[in-house]
Structure 1
Amino acid sequence: MEESSKLALDRIDRNMLRALQKDGRIANADLAKLVNVSAATCHRRTQRLMEEGFITAVRAQVSPVSVGLGALVMVGVVLDRSTPESFAAFEAAVGAMKEVLDCNLVAGDFDYLLKIRVRDMAGFNLLHGRQLITLPGVRQIRTFFVLKEVKDNAPLSF
């Protein structure tokens, strides 16, 4: 998103975005009342925010434990080469892995940082042995088991 797009947000847009981050299921009429505009205006603004890419998705946040995915693992990955081709091959392979929630190219000790959800340590051990170490171009993997999620998926502050 361009810097000029950020300037297109007025106070009402920002208040709408903040409210939608807290509750994506809020009824249009309730959102309109909250930001002090008509329901029709609120609907038009919400549609514009979606069309312009300010809102990228609306979805339910599922409790990982409730669906048997209680173990959160952060994995630092170092590739053997830093080329566009090796990055692309790694990213394509990771993109196909359902266990990987996030994959970020980072600066520092690792090339990539992965956020992975599995059932338990045994589940991670299988994933590690069958998929992670066979990913294209992987030279080194460092694994960090999350003991406690202190803050997760916090709303953006703007």
Structure 2
Amino acid sequence: MQLDDRDRRLLALLQADCRISNADLAERVGMSASACWRRVRAFEEAGLITAYRAELSPQQAGLAFQALVHVHLTRHNPEHLSQFITAIEHRPEVMECYATTGQADYHLHVLCRDIAAYNQFLENFLFRMPAVESAQTNVVLRQIKTQKTLPL
């Protein structure tokens, strides 16, 4: 999808505040309300806008423990790999999962209540997966930057 400058402004405003009214959005980008609404709908239908949601504070929600987990697989058995991916997609503690090149096969961003809950995640879930050989944990001490908006 080709984006012009007005589209980029519109999308930047929506990323900053998805609760902005269509009338305010249209006024701020210099469009009529109906044209603005049609453009936003086109972004949704094209899959550019994938969701609207509230951003929560993990600490305020009681999720003070945060880790980056580097997972090494035993072998790339298609059945075990499929089970691993499906299981990861359904775990609420796993905020993000990336398949990457390099030493680890997968990188997980995990949020838990505390270290005990994280240990349960490892022992009762991750280490019981047939595809998992090992995992290395890096505990997040503090976040320096969290970019929630795309640089359009």
TM-score range, shorter chain: over 0.9
Shift of 1:87: 2.2
Q: 1:48: which partner in 2? A: 42
Unaligned runs of 5+ in 2: none
CA contact (8 A) 2:76 2:131 kept: no
Shift of 1:96: 1.7
**2: CA distance between counterparts of 1:89 and 1:146?**
27
Structure 1 stretches (4+) deviating beyond 6 angstroms?
Answer: none
Question: What CA RMSD, in Å, does the superposition of the two structures yield over aligned residues?
Answer: 1.2
Cα deviations by residue, 1:23-55 (Å, 9 ceiling, x for unpaired): 111111111111000111111111111010110
Query: What's the % identity of the aligned pairs?
Result: 39
Q: Secondary structure at the match of 1:65?
A: coil
CA contact (8 A) 1:93 1:136 kept: no
Q: 1:24: which partner in 2? A: 18
Q: Secondary structure at the match of 2:60?
A: helix
CA contact (8 A) 1:77 1:110 kept: yes
Q: Tell me how many residue pairs correspond in the alignment.
A: 152
Unaligned runs of 5+ in 1: none
Cα deviations by residue, 1:47-86 (Å, 9 ceiling, x for unpaired): 1110101100010011111111111111000101124333
When normalised by structure 1's length, the TM-score is 0.91
Q: 2:118: which partner in 1? A: 124
CA contact (8 A) 2:97 2:109 kept: yes
Cα deviations by residue, 1:93-115 (Å, 9 ceiling, x for unpaired): 11121111111111111110001
